[in-house]
Amino acid sequence: MASILEQYRIADFLEWHRERRLNLNPEFQRASVWTPAARSFLINTILNELPIPKIYLRTIIDVNTKSSIRDVVDGQQRLRAIIDFANDKLVLTKAASEYQGYTFSSLPQELQEKFLSYALSVDQLLNAGNKEVLEIFSRLNSYSVQLNAQEKRHAKYQSDFKLDVVGISKEFGDFWEKYQILSIRERVRMLDDSLVSEMFGILLEGVQDGGEDKLNKLYERYKSPSAYSADMNDIGKKCADILIYFDKNLGDALTVPNKLYKAPHFLMLFAALAHALYGIGFGGMGEHMPARDPSALTNLAIVRDNLATLEEAIEAKSQDSVIQPLKEFWLKSSSSTQRISSRLVRFPVFYSALLPQRIV
């Protein structure tokens, strides 16, 4: 057996499929399970000439007939989506962004040509038996990095909720970098999506208990179009508007880097801004939920001073060096910031920082 890395155009795969020389259903493949959203996002990736994972084929060469049959070892879902789209069996959904509503035949000719000429990277396993194929995948899995919770959510859900989260996360890539809210390494592992998911949760449900299990349940609650309905589609716009408001009006309050702009604390500042600008639900705050005050954000000079005071408290080495009104805030900021017990204290303090009175 030999393993050979090659590239083939989508047109080549379509030709093999027409000639019945491409087998999409060898025994080690799963049935087709991709949602229309996942299939549409793949087509968007191809039309934008971005890379997709390589395909693994087991190529069986018959010297008597001088022909070959290609078994799809890994990549069946991708190839099914590609073939169905090429045969007008897939109408692109919202997940295809600017190509929503298109079929292949309704695309402009230049996009059809781009699609057909897109090169797929292929690892060909020549004349490999099942035992050898399984050995190869055992070795590949030995070197793979275990997915974190957000990466698993990204793979599992293909909902409008997820797509809106991803859209905001990518749109504000420069924002995360400008304020050093998340590092490049954290963004590579999709922690920007995780942060935006929590922001969406705040806008939809108010400040709640945090943690991966809570985020899993949030994605589950809003996975269907009926749960995350059309009248909720302004959640993404609200999230964007809050971040833009911060950037234009408060971004210069502190020098960068600082702890206040790190994700756990910035999330509570985001919640406070959301409450001031739009109002949010009680969530898990109960009697600790501050009433919405129309004077919030009316004196931005004082707000900047208050944010500097909060940052100084967060940076303090011990509770003894913090002013009396912020001692509990310091304590909760120094422990687990995901738990509602921490947010019950910290969120009201962040909201009070937006009022036209200095904290001290």
Residue located via tokens 């070197």 = 143
Q: Tell me which residue of 232, 268, 95, 245 sits closest to 175, measured CA to CA.
A: 245
Of 23-27, 172-176, 182-186, least confident by mean pLDDT is 23-27
> What does the pLDDT read at residue 31?
57
C-alpha atoms less than 13 angstroms from C-alpha of 201 in its C-beta half-sphere: 24
pLDDT band at 91 (very low <50, low <70, confident <90, very high): very high
> What does the pLDDT read at residue 142?
74
**One-letter amino acid of 11:** A
> What does the pLDDT read at residue 141?
66
pLDDT in tens, 269-279: 999 999 999 99
Helix, strand, coil shares of the chain as percentages rounded to 5? 55, 10, 35
pLDDT band at 124 (very low <50, low <70, confident <90, very high): confident
> What does the pLDDT read at residue 24?
87
> What does the pLDDT read at residue 225?
85
pLDDT in tens, 54-67: 999 988 887 777 77
State what percent of residues in the chain have pLDDT above 70.
96
Q: Which residue has the higher pLDDT, 26 or 131?
A: 131
> What does the pLDDT read at residue 174?
94
C-alpha atoms less than 13 angstroms from C-alpha of 68 in its C-beta half-sphere: 14
> What does the pLDDT read at residue 28?
61
- List CB contacts of 313: < 8 A, sequence separation 6 or more: 322, 323, 326, 329, 330, 333
pLDDT in tens, 264-306: 999 999 999 999 999 999 999 999 999 999 999 999 999 999 9
Phi, psi of 71 (to 5 degrees): -90, 130
Of 81-85, 118-122, 154-158, least confident by mean pLDDT is 154-158
Task: Find out whether 214 and 340 touch, Cβ atoms under 8 Å.
Answer: no
Q: Structure tokens of 346? A: 């910290």
> What does the pLDDT read at residue 273?
98
Query: Measuring CA to CA, how many Å separate 299 from each of 184, 218, 274?
Result: 34, 35, 17
Across the range 175-185, mean pLDDT stands at: 94
Task: Find out whether 46 and 115 touch, Cβ atoms under 8 Å.
Answer: yes
Q: How far apart are CA 101 and CA 93, in angstroms?
A: 6
Task: Find out whether 8 and 59 touch, Cβ atoms under 8 Å.
Answer: no
pLDDT band at 230 (very low <50, low <70, confident <90, very high): low
Q: How far apart are CA 150 and CA 191, in angstroms?
A: 7
> What does the pLDDT read at residue 139?
74
pLDDT in tens, 327-341: 999 999 998 889 999
pLDDT in tens, 14-42: 999 999 999 987 666 555 578 888 899 99
State what percent of residues in the chain have pLDDT above 90.
70
**One-letter amino acid of 243:** L
Q: Structure tokens of 179? A: 């304020």
3-state secondary structure of 162: helix
> What does the pLDDT read at residue 1?
62
pLDDT at 346 over 80: yes
> What does the pLDDT read at residue 34?
83
pLDDT band at 316 (very low <50, low <70, confident <90, very high): very high
H helix runs in 118-250, sequence order: 130-143, 149-156, 160-171, 173-178, 184-188, 191-205, 212-221, 235-249
